[in-house]
A and B are shown apart, each in its own frame.
Chain A
Amino acid sequence: MRCLGILAVALGVAVGGGASAQQRYDGVKIKVLSTNSAYDLELKKFPHEFTEKTGAEVQFDLFGYAPTVQKVSVELLTRSDSYDVVYLGSEEFGRYASGDILEPLDNYIDMKSADVQDFIAPVLRLYNKDGKQLAFPHFAATQLLYYRADLFEKAGIKQPPQTWEEFRNDCDLLRKADIQCTALRGQPDTGENIWFWGQVLYGFGGKYFANEPADLTPTVNSPAAVEALKWYTDVMTNFTVPGSISATFDDVVIAMQQGRIAMTVEGAPTAGRILDPKLSKVVGKLGFALPPGGVSGRFPPFAGQAYVIPAASENKAAAAAFLQWATSKDLMKRISLDSTFVAITRTSLWDDPEIRAKHDYDYGHGSFAATYAETLRGAPEWYYPRIPEFKEIGDRLGRALQEAVVRSKSPEAALDDAQGDAVEIVKRAGYLK
């Protein structure tokens, strides 16, 4: 029966070039599990349009980020059929990419169609495993350097920092001018301080593993990593606003939005919130630049957020149609124009005049859209290692960073302990003997 269903859908793909708009799913109810992000909240306003188009009804269950990630892990790993469409961050992709947990979209959608090719290629590739596309991304994330040109001028800083050392030295100049330098993510979590940390680690010449994927011996306590942590500890201790030690991206965004700091390296998608005209005190004052780099180069963070179809779903064809609709160019454009959402995953939309008019902030110190696009171009797809156990290793390393910042351990000791635990984790997973 299942084979017949797939055959029918494959025929549909061959004839119609994807789950066609004409295909009806009357009586089907698609249940969606996702976060309460700007994109999902906006998407929730339009399910009637999908129902009119396909006959299928949609039910959204949206939660905060952390509870969603936990629910997703339980739903996917227990192979539950409770949801037909599920949120998945690319940092967690490795956890679910194997073991027939996710349904390949190739079974339902023509991946060579112009519509699919319009996705930003590296973002799409984040969710590709062995040539099979397992998700459609609705959110492309990287980080930018946001800086206050007016405060830089006051402190005598001529241009945004190009390296982490310059970042630290500029902080020193800002402090001498009695200006609070920065806020950075301190919450120990793969999605928080480790999201920022990767670019510093890589910039200083470090890496997480000896030679991923061939040799997964952890190298989180290499000399380069220790140097990177010394830099991080110095900046977090001496130049961040109080509260940074446990700050999430939300805290950093608010600090920048409220004009409490002179610069930060934070998510490009948060620009809409930082510059929300109803709340922001920095509209017209910000400059945008690539995140700093180090001796090894510049490694902007790179991640995506996407919708996947659990292999256990009983409405896979309808769910595939939903994915196409929910990440479609038209809908993404409307959502972006109506909200602060700017993490666009469609190449064509970055050239759209209306999108540019709404989101291309440019106050004479760099164009936001151009910087975002350039950062995405330089961001490595391997920013997050793609092994299922990286979440646990990342969280453990995040804790080591915090231990060094609160000075409960020296940077060397904190990373040595993290290395020991990381080795245990990869051994338990069977990568090392």
Chain B
Amino acid sequence: MASSRPKVSSALITPAIGFLCLATLVPIAAVVALSFGDFNIAFPEKTRFIGLYNYARFLSDGRFINAALVTFILVVVPVVLQLLCGLALAIALKEKLVGTRWMRAAFLLPSVVPPAVGGIVWKLFLIPGVGGLSYLASLFGHNFEADLLGSKTSALISVIIVSIWFGVPIVALLLLSSLDSIPDEIYEAANLDGASWAQAQWHISIPLVLPAMGAVAVFQALEVLGIFPVIFVLTGGGPAGATEPLNFYAFLTAFTYLDLDYSAAILVAFTTTIVGVCFWSISQISATRVGR
């Protein structure tokens, strides 16, 4: 009876696992196969194998190179700033100051706003001359009409700020749970030894949440790539490609220019890089923990 139980369990979960494989592996395999083909959606019967031609196109495609650079910036800068701001916020929330209970809930708000809605809100906020930012400036007696989405640098900075706005709450929450797990006795001992509040944070809080920060960084690196809807609404990838990451470029290549095989190659390269970096990061974090 006991030995037949695992077999029954396996049989019961097999369809679910099979469906999961079908739903994930088959599309991935199809995209990979497509990236090696010359595919015209109007004449699918004429599809032929062209090897690495689509990948070779990367080298002469300035837009791809620009999008790769933008992707790098839109991952690294927001994640670093999210971690710094999130840590500061988590430390502040841990102090149980007046109002921190309701502030915990309030800080979560950006995380629950759908990205497209957030993008529209920010777009309205940044409209030159008539948006919320101009209104705020007018309260201080300034006439602010600059088009922040109209120059490459300010548009990129705007997208980074929106990305931080979306990500900081969840980072703060994750780090707060890590901070909460540090025993109070350690702080009390430091206090008895004459350590100031700042010294306690620097020598106790930050070193002890660093491993958690590594894991959160990997998680957020994947999360910030989900800013696609915000870019779609806020900047459309512009101006002049300043805010166009690889996934947005792949989307345009596939659905606007119908260059599906090249789009597949972009996505394969993009996904492989992301997965590779994530695995490497996780292995580094695990190695650190084992070493400790």
Contacts and interface: CB of A to CB of B under 8 A. Distances in A.
A417 B62 contact: yes
**Interface size of B as a range:** 20 to 34
Nearest to A409: B240
Interface string A407-433: 011000000010001001000000000
Contacts of B259: 392
A430 B9 CA distance: 57
B166 to A, nearest CB: 21
Contact of A70 (B62, B151, B236, B256): B256
12 contacts: A70-B255, A245-B149, A245-B151, A391-B257, A399-B240, A403-B241, A405-B240, A406-B150, A406-B151, A406-B239, A406-B242, A421-B63
Contacts of B128: 241-243
Contacts of B242: 406, 408
Interface in B215-229: none
A409 B242 CA distance: 13
B147 A101 contact: no
Q: Give the 9 A-B residue pairs with the shortest CB-CB distance, closest first.
A: A242-B128, A242-B147, A245-B150, A403-B240, A77-B41, A392-B257, A77-B42, A402-B240, A243-B128
B127 A243 contact: yes
Contacts of B214: none
B211 interface: no
Contacts of B241: 399, 403
B127 A78 contact: no
A406 B240 contact: yes
A246 B235 contact: yes
Contacts of B41: 74, 77-78
A115 B282 CA distance: 70
A246 B62 CA distance: 21
Nearest to B253: A392
Given A392-B257, A403-B240, A101 B42 contact: yes
Which of A101, A187, A242, A424 has the most chain B CB atoms inside 10 A of its CB? A242
A406 B152 contact: yes
Contacts of B152: 406, 408
- Mostly, the B contact residues are loop
Nearest to A96: B42
A402 B60 CA distance: 21
A416 to B, nearest CB: 11
B146 interface: yes
A84 interface: no
Contacts of A99: 42-43
B238 A246 contact: yes
A243 B150 contact: yes
A20 interface: no
A244 B145 CA distance: 12
Interface string A230-256: 000000000001111110000000000
A192 to B, nearest CB: 10
A395 interface: yes
Interface of B: 41-43, 60, 62-63, 127-129, 145-147, 149-152, 235-236, 238-242, 255-259
A245 B235 CA distance: 11
Given A187-B236, A424-B60, A242 B145 contact: yes
A406 B42 CA distance: 37
Contacts of A188: 238, 240
A395 B240 contact: no
A77 B150 contact: no
A351 to B, nearest CB: 40
Which of B62, B147, B240, B257 has the most chain A CB atoms inside 10 A of its CB? B240
A243 B147 contact: yes
Contact of A402 (B43, B62, B145, B238): B238
Contacts of A246: 149-150, 235-236, 238-239
A73 interface: yes
Interface string A173-209: 0000000000000111000000000000000000000
A409 B255 CA distance: 27
Contacts of B239: 186, 245-246, 402, 405-406
Interface in A393-407: 395, 399, 402-403, 405-406
Given A73-B255, A245-B151, 12 more contacts: A99-B43, A101-B42, A188-B238, A243-B128, A246-B235, A246-B238, A391-B256, A391-B257, A395-B256, A399-B238, A405-B240, A406-B151
Contacts of A77: 41-42, 258
A395 B110 CA distance: 34
Contacts of B235: 246
Nearest to A99: B42
Contact of A242 (B150, B236, B238, B240): B150
Contacts of A409: 240
Contacts of A245: 147, 149-151, 238-239
Contacts of A187: 236, 238
A424 B57 CA distance: 10
B103 to A, nearest CB: 35
A77 B129 CA distance: 43
A403 B66 CA distance: 13
Given A77-B41, A99-B43, A417-B62, A242 B256 contact: no
Interface in A140-189: 186-188
A402 B243 CA distance: 13
Nearest to B131: A243
Contact of B129 (A74, A186, A242, A408): A242
Nearest to B43: A99
A69 B256 CA distance: 8
Nearest to B126: A243
Interface in A33-88: 69-70, 73-74, 77-78
Which of A243, A405, A409 has the most chain B CB atoms inside 10 A of its CB? A243
